[in-house]
Structures are given as structure tokens and as C-alpha cells.
Amino acid sequence: MNLLKFFTQRASGGQSLVLATVFETIGSTYSKAGGQMIIDGDGNFCGMLSGGCLEGDLVERARHVIKSGVAETASYDLSADDELWGLGVGCDGTMRVLLQPLSPENEYQPFAAIADVLSGDEPATLAIVIRAESTSIKAGASMLLQDGRELGFGISDAVLRSIAKSVDKKRPATMREADTPEGACVVLYACIEPPPALLILGAGLDSEPVVRIASELGWRCTVIDHRPAYVDSRCYADSTRALCCPVDELAQQVRLEHFDLAIVMSHHLASDRAYLRQLAASDIAYIGLLGPAGRRERLMNEINDAADALQGRLHGPAGIDLGGRGPGPIALSIVAEMQQFLNQRG
């Protein structure tokens, strides 16, 4: 389960939660600054900040934060002992974490705003106050900056504007000092990126493991096929959008600019040809094609000038050669190549 689903389920029931955010690391650690997890009052959590060794302590701290309603920090020195708490973690690093209360009283902010970003298509910058000189600025006060909009939570407009001036969208999560009219404060700036959106063109049996693996990674999956029986008989994750529409209407049924990745796998030459023509006119950076190289060359010759627009974007046969046969291993190789592409793109 991803953070968004975990949060939505519990917030809809009015449960109090805690957002744990890594704001500083030194040395080798499982998570880096900006890493997050959510913990509920029953000790259930989603996300991991360590290999499992710190989560138990974070759960106990979260209970205290829920009860007090006040944010607090926790520091973990994983380099002090190779066998931390007898678990033999061996991470050799230090991690500092901020725990913020999320409740109906504070409208679950800032994560309710983060959830909107995760459900959309545009990234945003999250700024969280870690500590401040003045008691008028509380640890955990936050702001979200997106498309010129500044949303503040537990923070005055003057302080918000001062913090916004220090935003650098090109830098990874980092801590910096911000001078404000109410005094200096140390702020964590982190980019919130919507999960990748994957378009799967073809609802054959082999589409199921592709969706299953991609959904496990938190990706947003949309499956399209022109054959009703294929769409209706598939078993996809609940979050998957599955549509049945004529092949030539793909660009009218979905906004192709909303997708980061696409895989053409209808196993039908005419359909794949029509899909590729429409994808050629999009700006989707990764387009995968199932089938051998000879089939790819045939399709490229048949779509004429559209083939030029696919140069550098078309990956066919799609997937990293991991070995193995059948839908499962092939799906793993495809999603692995997509993940590699996303990492290299930055």
C-alpha cells in the first residue's frame, strides 16, 4: 500500500496520524532527507525510513505526538554500534526525523495538500520548519509551493513569503536557514513528485503482472484495449483505470501528456500500428513495444513519417534481458527497464 492510499483510508475515518519526515542524514542511511512515512494511533504504518530497525521506536514516539498534538524530532545514530538494539543493523550513519501530528483538527495538513500533489500531474516544493529562534514559529509549520501558489499551514503570511524566497526547485531535499520578520528558522525544502503514470495499451493476460509490479512501486496505471472481453476479464489493482475504446480514439479518450511511460502490448499488428502513430504525436519519453526486433522494424516501416518522431523514445523489444520466460519474468524486465529510464532521466 502506498502513502496516499494509507492516508486516504484513515483520514476518511477521522483517525489521528503522524507524518514522519527525514530532515537530515549523515553517512550511510536507508532513507535520505525528504523520505516520509505515516503512522496511525494503532501502530500501523506505511513507508519505511530504515530497514525495519527504527520503525518500532517511531511508532512509540508517534503515539506521544498524537496525544500531545505537538511536533517533535528524533535522532538515531546508527554508527554507534554495529548491533544496534541487538539487531546488527550496520548502517554506519545518523538520521534525524521530524514527527508532525495529522488530525481532523488541523485538517491533516500538510499531508492533505501533499496528497493533492501525489494525485495530480505537477510537482511541488514542500518546506517544513525544523527549528526556529522565535517561539512564534513552531517546528512543523509548513508550506507548499506549486505553480506560483503558496499554501501555508501553521505559519504567518510574512514568514511564508520569506521561506518561499529560498526555494530552489532544482536542488534535492536540503536544509537551509531562512531569515523571516519573526526571526531566523531552519527549513527543510523537499520536492514532492507525483508517482509515474504508466499507459498500458493492450489488456491481455500478460498485462496483469505489468500492472501488479508497477502498482507495487506506487505507479498510476491506465490500461486500454478495444476488446471488451479482455478489459472485463482482467484482475487489476483497485487503483488501476481500465478503459475499453476504439484504437483510433486513444488520443481522444485520455490526455497523453499526462503519462510518463507507455507500453504497447496488444499483440495485434493493426492495433499496435495505430497506437504507435498516436504515441508518436505525444511527448511521452519512454514508449515500449512488445515483440521481436523484426516485428518492430515492420511496424516502423508501416507508420512511415511517424517513425521519425519515435526515434530515441521507442524501446523494442521492451525490457532488460533478465532471462526467464512467461508473463511474470517479461513484466519484471519491462518495469525494470522503465525504472532504469526514470532513474537516468533524474
Q: What type of residue is 13?
A: G
51 and 185 share one domain: no
Task: Say whether pTM exceeds 0.85.
Answer: no
CA dihedral 112→115→119→120, nearest 10 degrees, is 80
Residues 290 and 269 placed together within one structural domain of the fold:
yes
CATH code of residue 266: 3.40.50.720
pLDDT of residue 6: 92
Same structural domain for residues 119 and 43? no
Local structure of 132: helix, strand or coil: strand
Boundary residue ending a domain (192, 227, 245): 192
Please check whether residues 330 and 216 belong to one and the same domain. Answer: yes
320 and 250 in a common domain = yes
102 with 120, same domain: the answer is: no
Number of domains, the chain: 3
- Could you list the residue range(s) of the whole structural domain that residue 54 is in? 3-106
Q: In this predicted model, what pLDDT tens digit does every residue of 273-286 receive, in sequence order? A: 999 999 999 999 99
Domain boundary among 106, 121, 154: 106
Interval 204-245: pLDDT, tens: 999 999 999 999 998 999 999 999 999 999 999 888 999 999
37 exposed, middle or buried (CB, 10 Å; 0-12, 13-18, 19+)? buried
pLDDT of 93 strictly over 80: no
Q: Are 324 and 242 in the same domain?
A: yes
User: Where does the pLDDT of residue 254 fall: very low under 50, low under 70, confident under 90, or very high at 90 and above?
Assistant: very high
Using the 3D structure, point to which of 168, 192, 216 is the last residue of a domain.
192
18: closest CA among 127, 99, 98?
Answer: 99
Is the Cβ–Cβ distance between 16 and 107 less than 8 Å?
Answer: no
Residue 26's pLDDT is what? 87
Same domain, 201 and 341: yes
